[in-house]
Structure 1
């Protein structure tokens, strides 16, 4: 079902000041609603958002990127990048797409990139929705940062993308997920590019999401699956506190909740967008 639906949203590539960025898009004709930009996590890609592209594209422009080093997207220059490096690539991509203001939806590692752009270019971000956000280890000791980074790099080197997909899939979903959701997580994870994943482990080690979102004074929402064991509700509560909002807990969902419970997460995204649009005057600035 997901592969068949994905054919409706082909992989696209565009040249930017950063390099090539790959992405998938829906609803480009909707000009009177806020565009939504979907940012995936460390073991995923733009295709993972296919159900949101399908549903949300009925009423608004929806664009899911392949982060630098994923799919055909050009890697960031630094071998040990930070969140700002990725946020610059995101900004360059939005420039070429002529998106001056949007709702950013970041899942897991994608929340780190979203938070960095919101902190440094708040005028571009009408709203920030963080789903099962990874906090990053930037505020931790050097030893902890390096140990977390090295553990992921070792796993990548030992297992490769196919092995990661096989070994990590179960951790991404709750016990309620059906086999099609599990297969979709495996399919996306098996397609990661090792060099891009390695850079993303450095991003995770260097980032401090709480510090970034504390600098952003726009509209923020934070949500997590009730059964998320990777970024559990207790960890996401700290991010919500930094954002000065209440944490939304999604029932019967794990870390990749938008894959296993697509309708609930699509409603979450759309409701957040509508709440922002209700407060805008004189239309939506683009």
Structure 2
């Protein structure tokens, strides 16, 4: 029998799964619900344990997508990456058409269970919407707010636009399912120059979304208004905020993220060459971005 070499996609997925195995799924009971998450906390983080970095993924992803941040930053920081409600084995929120505050309250409950009094919160895409809502309702729990390729939400748009955006995404989910969604949509998540290993990992994460959780998150996207939540948080949150986007992000392009940066009253940081899933595609650049922001947050806290 002749030897058939595995495809590069199989090799790269197996390698990333093996790396991910260092950070097994954990589960926390939160007021009758479950939150699944992954954690990294190397010995070098001693003395900083009270201020972990909390990572919130986007609509087509999950906690596993942050494996390269867990590996690298986890040696010096406590890193917590959640599966949002309805993702992984996390319990969905109760509302069929939830708002951002529903997710923010679950986030606060999870942090309570883990004994996290304050954190540096990093939200990517839809995760930025959750992070902004958390800042609006729980600003005292924040040491810093970093929004990466933030989705603005359609809450400020006319009702017809909100419904069209929502219904089109739900119809795509119904037609394609998670696997088909991953095949058709994952390519938009990265820059044209992204390698096949990166594309494979983005596709792997997207193929594992849970349809009900993804549908709820679609409603969340239609209902949310990140700019309004940032404006609301300004009255109580005085900590640092940074907004960053990949130069070649085709989903939340720099022009759209500029509006969010203006709402936060901060300059927009642009990461050269990166697409929407920049922290997957360009981990070194995004690890440096997160680490630098963390240091700023701690320095401001000590003033």
Q: TM-score, normalised by structure 2?
A: 0.91
Return the alpha-carbon distance in structure 1 between the equivalents of residues 104 and 46 of structure 2.
24
SS of 2:145's partner is strand
RMSD: 1.1
- Decide which of 203, 207, 211 is 1:186's aligned counterpart: 203
Q: Which residue of 1 aligns with 2:7?
A: none
Return the alpha-carbon distance in structure 1 between the equivalents of residues 103 and 80 of structure 2.
17
Aligned CA distance change for structure 1 residues 126 and 168 (closer, same or farther; 3 Å): same
Q: CA deviation at 1:28?
A: 6.3
Return the alpha-carbon distance in structure 1 between the equivalents of residues 212 and 270 of structure 2.
34
Query: Map of 1:1-286 to 2, 5 A cutoff?
Result: 1-17=15-31, 19-27=33-41, 30-33=45-48, 34-216=51-233, 217=237, 218-281=239-302
1:6-30, Cα deviation, whole Å (9 max, x unpaired): 0100011111115000000001653
Structure 1 segments unaligned to the other structure (5+ residues): none
Q: CA deviation at 1:31?
A: 4.2
Structure 2 segments unaligned to the other structure (5+ residues): 1-14
Moved over 6 A (4+): none
SS of 2:187's partner is helix
1:74-95, Cα deviation, whole Å (9 max, x unpaired): 0000000000000011001000
Return the alpha-carbon distance in structure 2 between the equivalents of residues 19 and 86 of structure 1.
12
SS of 1:147's partner is helix
Q: TM-score, normalised by structure 1?
A: 0.97
**Bigger Rg, which one:** 2
